[in-house]
Copies of this chain bind each other. A is one copy, B any other.
Amino acid sequence: MTPDPTSDEAARLAMYREMVRARYFEQRAYDLFMEGIVQGTTHLGLGQEAIAAGFAAAMRPEDMTFCTYRGHNHTLLRGAPMSALLGELAGRSIGICAGKGGSMHLTDVTKNAMGSYAIVGAHLPIAVGAAWAGSLRGTDQVSVCFFGDGTTNIGAFHEAVNLAAVWKVPVVFVCENNLYMEYTPISEMTPVEHPAADRASAYGLESIIVDGNDVDAVYAVASRTIERARRGEGPSLVEAKTYRHKGHSRADPGEYRPEEEVTAWLARDPIPSYRARLEAVDVDPSTLDAIEADAMIEVDGATEETRNAPPPAAETLMTEVWADGGSEWRN
């Protein structure tokens, strides 16, 4: 398994780099949305990067990620090329889905980023099936499935976690509890305090809560649950407490959230706090500056590529409905 970052400086720096890359990438996505370059919608994970970074660090290349429309960070951190992701958000030909999917469907199967799903709950059973297939084929793969707090109230969540538990499927369910559905607090829509953790026992699973803004803590839980799954001991359900810095999507200012709450969570931003922790163990600030500078260069490059990329060719409208590459439904 991967080296333990909490004891391995290189690995910790890598997690820091990944968080910064996700942060800069999504900040740019927001700017480009405001500019009208990014089309349709975006759901940013700004503030939730530690969850993506901690899990990505604990996963093997062959492990599979399933995420939601709020999964830009997960897809990027599994290794998808930044320009192809930004190009997809902007609906350009260079997009990772050729411009057909848009921001809610970022996918890079070559990196086992098995898709971003836009309908709440749907990807949980899909992640279970993929993990089950892996164990049947003896591939040692684990599925990691990310979703939000609001998703714990939809039927597919219940069916998927139950089936995974009954079949002892190697999947780790990760609830990113950012306290809100779209504009409604999850606390108003759930009769238990911890929407995921308090449901674990309903499936015979351990109740696991982690500070989703502490990448070291996330990494620890990630490796524990992933290795448990790999050992064939079945699924886990992890609830990571976190907060989104921006609104739900697009230009939403998130004004439905109390100011003190926002300030308190901004003070717990996973990135500066991790930088402080690293500096406290004598990591040279210039190293961290360099990581940040490199990330910005990468984002600028992806931005340029995206701005210069043409829209998808008209012919592509009718391609890739079927495996033969086309869309013919008649002879």
Number of interface residues of A (CB under 8 A): 22
Task: Count copies of this chain in the complex.
Answer: 2
Contacts A192-B203, A204-B192 given: A159-B166 contact, CB under 8 Å? no
Known pairs A192-B203, A202-B202 / 6 extra A-B pairs, C-beta < 8 Å: A153-B159, A154-B158, A155-B159, A157-B158, A191-B205, A201-B202
B-contacting residues, A122-146, CB 8 Å: none
Residues in A lying within 8 Å of B, measured CB to CB: 153-159, 162, 165-166, 188-192, 198-199, 201-205
Known: A191-B203, A192-B202, A202-B202. Is A159-B165 also a contact (CB below 8 A)?
Answer: no
Interface of A is mostly: helix
Give 25 pairs: A residue, B residue, CB < 8 Å, sorted on A. A153-B158, A153-B159, A153-B162, A154-B158, A154-B159, A155-B155, A155-B156, A155-B157, A155-B158, A155-B159, A157-B158, A158-B158, A162-B190, A165-B191, A166-B188, A166-B189, A166-B190, A191-B203, A191-B204, A192-B202, A192-B203, A198-B202, A201-B201, A201-B202, A202-B202
Question: Chain B CB within 10 Å — which of A153, A166, A191, A205 has the most?
Answer: A191
| B residues less than 8 Å from A202 (CB atoms) | 192, 198-199, 201-202
* Given known A155-B158, A166-B189, contact A201–B203 (CB-CB < 8 A): no
In the complex, how many angstroms separate the beta carbon of A14 from the nearest chain B beta carbon? 36
Query: In the bound complex, what is the Cα–Cα distance between A165 and B191 (angstroms)?
Result: 6
Q: Nearest CB to that of A164 among chain B residues?
A: B191
Q: Which residues of B contact A192 (CB under 8 A)?
A: 201-204
Which B residues lie within 8 Å of A189 (CB)? 166
CB-nearest residue of chain B to A161: B191
Residues of B within 8 A of A205 (CB): 191
